[in-house]
Amino acid sequence: MRIFTWSDDRVLRYATGVFVVLWMASVGPLRTWASEAGIRSLWWFGIAPSLFSGAAFATWQAVATSVRAWTSAAYAVVLTLLAEGVQLAMANATADPWDIVAGSIGAGVGGLIVAWRERVGEHPSRPDIA
């Protein structure tokens, strides 16, 4: 059994990095800019972090392990649910069902990217690579 390392699939690794950067940008600088521009109340700015985190979780799971695409997407959905569940117990946070939907959509996007890499890339779940 071959162990999957960070260097095995460059495209998947870069996709994970892009999603993490977009996630962090949407939590910080993008929200600050939207507040200053007076458009922070737009729905997109509320759900963008969940969307990007779901995609980042799905692609990262596939990069860090050799799980199949839809398993990594399922893990990402579970992490999204757990993150919203934790917010129920936090005094300064509000759990939002739209964040769960956005995180699940992001996980699906990440899962599609992983499925594509399984088909044409270097992911170890491909039978001809393992």
Q: Is the pLDDT of residue 113 over 80?
A: yes
For the entire predicted model, the pTM comes to 0.81
Report yes or no: 84 and 30 within 8 Å, Cβ to Cβ: no
Q: What single-letter amino acid sits at 51?
A: L
pLDDT recorded at residue 19? 96
Average per-residue pLDDT in the chain?
83
pLDDT recorded at residue 128? 59
Q: Is 126 exposed, middle or buried (0-12, 13-18, 19+ CB in 10 A)?
A: middle
Q: DSSP string of 5-43? A: -TTS-HHHHHHHHHHHHHHHHHHTHHHHHHHHHT-TTSH
What is the tens place of the pLDDT at every residue in 42-93? 766 778 889 999 999 999 998 888 788 899 999 999 999 998 889 888 888 7
Nearest to 62 by CA among 101, 1, 120, 112: 112
Output phi, psi for 122, to 5 deg. -115, 20
